[in-house]
């Protein structure tokens, strides 16, 4: 805990660039299985627990040539098989089918319509870094 009983720094929002915000909206609403918070016209907020996944139309926000995220965004889910089926139905670029990883997680990797990298992990198998048998 931080000084004065406050909780220390925490991640509260992850920004993902989108070149076609309406296509991204449909993709993420279906893939995540949750409704979007479209409060800001150039941003779509998906409330995933304590973290917001924000799809941002960089062209509206004065940025040119949006580039995909440089690394994977990891999202835990209790319905991994259903999310995988939705990803396939959405024609997401599947980079790895559901597999049990060497570190114990059960997951799959894919990309959204803009090429942003996503990894979905079965939340009952999350590896959080401490005490791994293989470490």
Q: In whole angstroms, give the CA distance from residue 123 to residue 131.
A: 17
Q: What is the pLDDT along the chain (135 residues), one digit of tens a residue?
A: 556 667 789 999 999 999 889 999 999 999 999 999 999 888 999 999 999 999 999 878 766 777 899 999 999 999 999 999 999 999 999 999 999 999 999 999 999 999 999 999 999 999 988 766 655
What is the pTM assigned to this prediction?
A: 0.88
Q: In whole angstroms, give the CA distance from residue 92 to residue 110.
A: 6
Number of domain units in the chain: 1
Predicted confidence at residue 8, as pLDDT, reads 85
Q: In whole angstroms, give the CA distance from residue 60 to residue 44.
A: 13
Q: What is the CATH number of the domain that holds 110?
A: 3.10.180.10
Residue 22: helix, strand or coil by DSSP?
helix
Q: In whole angstroms, give the CA distance from residue 41 to residue 123.
A: 32
130 domain-assigned = no
129 domain-assigned = no
Residue 108: helix, strand or coil by DSSP?
strand
């Amino acid at each position: 805990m931080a000084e004065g009983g406050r909780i220390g720094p925490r991640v509260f929002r992850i920004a993902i660039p989108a070149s076609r915000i309406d296509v991204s909206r449909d993709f993420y609403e279906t893939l995540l299985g949750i409704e979007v918070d479209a409060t800001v016209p150039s941003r779509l907020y998906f409330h995933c627990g304590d973290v917001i996944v924000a799809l941002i139309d960089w062209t509206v926000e004065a940025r040119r040539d949006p580039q995909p995220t440089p690394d994977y965004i990891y999202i835990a889910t209790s319905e991994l098989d259903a999310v995988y089926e939705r990803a396939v139905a959405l024609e997401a670029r599947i980079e790895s089918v559901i597999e049990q990883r060497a570190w114990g997680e059960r997951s799959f990797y894919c990309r959204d319509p803009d090429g942003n990298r996503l990894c979905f992990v079965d939340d009952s198998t999350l590896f959080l870094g401490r005490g791994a048998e293989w470490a």
